[in-house]
Amino acid sequence: MSETPAATKPPTEVRPRAVRRSFTADYKLKILAEVDSIKDKDSGEIGRVLRREGLYFSHLRTWRKDIAAIEGRRVALSKRAKAVDERDQELADLRNQNLNLTVRLERAELLLSIQKKVCSLLGVSFPTPTEKP
């Protein structure tokens, strides 16, 4: 029996969609340890390792950055958070509010002194506040 031309189709010319490589944490740590163990950084050994594994230097940089971030989070989580007393928090808030009001008062006094000087230069009497009983 002979096969019909429809039964034998040529392989498709469309390539499958490229899939990004993903690396396990163990693999990343193994490669970083191998690169870090190289004594003479200028000898080209790092390049040989990267070529052998099909990696780029940016991989190493990114992996080191990720590990540093993870270690930073571990350190932050390992430290016990100091329990903040409500009174201490209220006191800090009041101090900040007092500082802000003091700055605003100094600005207002400066503006008033400028207004008084302008009134005296123009010969206009500066109105005095009247007291209400």
Query: 90 lies in which domain range?
Result: 83-123
Residue located via tokens 């790092």: 46
CA-nearest of 63, 57, 61, 58 to 23 is 63
104 part of a folded domain: yes
pLDDT digits (tens, 9 = 90+) for 46-73: 999 999 999 999 999 999 888 888 877 6
Query: Does 52 share its domain with 67?
Result: yes
- Lowest-confidence segment of 8-17, 32-41, 87-96, 119-128 by average pLDDT: 8-17
The last residue of a domain, from among 78, 97, 113: 78
- Residue 114 located in a structural domain: yes
Q: Residues 36, 61: one domain?
A: yes
The pair of structure tokens assigned to 72 is: 């930073």
Q: Quote the mean pLDDT of the chain.
A: 81
Q: Model's pTM, two decimal places? A: 0.44
Please say which residue of 78, 96, 111 terminates a domain: 78
